[in-house]
Chain A
Amino acid sequence: MSFTQNKETKEAEEALVREFQAGNLDAYDKIAEIYQKKIYALSFNLTRNTMDAQDVTQEVLITLFKKVHTFKGKSAFSSWVYRITLNATYMKLRSKKKEPNVSLEDLLPSYNGFGYQQEKIQDWSENTESLLFANETREVIQKAVDQLPEKEKVVFILRDVEGLSTEKVSDILELTIPAVKSRLHRARLFLRKKLSPYFEEYHSRSEKQ
């Protein structure tokens, strides 16, 4: 299920939450089923560690169980779940040694005084579908995403990977819409630049074949 919810799913979910708040445990079952994959995927993409993502998922499910009565419905239930997930994930990450992030500024496009691109850009975008079948590609991509600064990384994962709307991400992270858009754009620019050498090489290799 995507979090870009339509009105019907949102209403059905709100009803489930109310039932659960009233003590119906089957409603909790359903909520846990809807959310556990989302919680795990988000946490795994941020920690890149199976055990951590597992711990986080369990913690979040416990929190939902124990704290559901504190959910007042000011924002969507899903936003609330996402916020709890992010907090639990960041608590995990805080206790770990962090690899230094790469400077994002160095990877933004460069222009001359007239605002024209200075760099020579190779177009490697054709025939890249088969790339995804290679484990190597996934590793290269994961490594690049891991190097994103935290602020940009979380926006990229929520917006592009989880497929949430800009409005939803702004609600979860309590950021303005322009701030979400700007972070997303910077993340995408960073990833394009960071991944280009690998994709260029793949492209020239496949052209020779």
Chain B
Amino acid sequence: MIKILYFAGLRESIGSSGEEIALPPGVSDIARLRAHLAARGEPWGSLATARNLRTAVNQRMVDEGAAVQDGDEIAFFPPVTGG
């Protein structure tokens, strides 16, 4: 299983703060995972259309080529605006 988290505006547009799913076959990196999640249709369409979406794997920011493994915690979120 992998744990997926959504934050801020992305969380609101999806209508969920996260989900747990089995690691889909053939999904080995962030870009493929994002495409897989978005391909399920609404309400996950914004995963495909959101600009500058950021990703963290196990609470570290990564780029789209980062590997995804069973047991990972993966977070998708808009660019940060703290401070």
Does A associate with B in a complex?
no
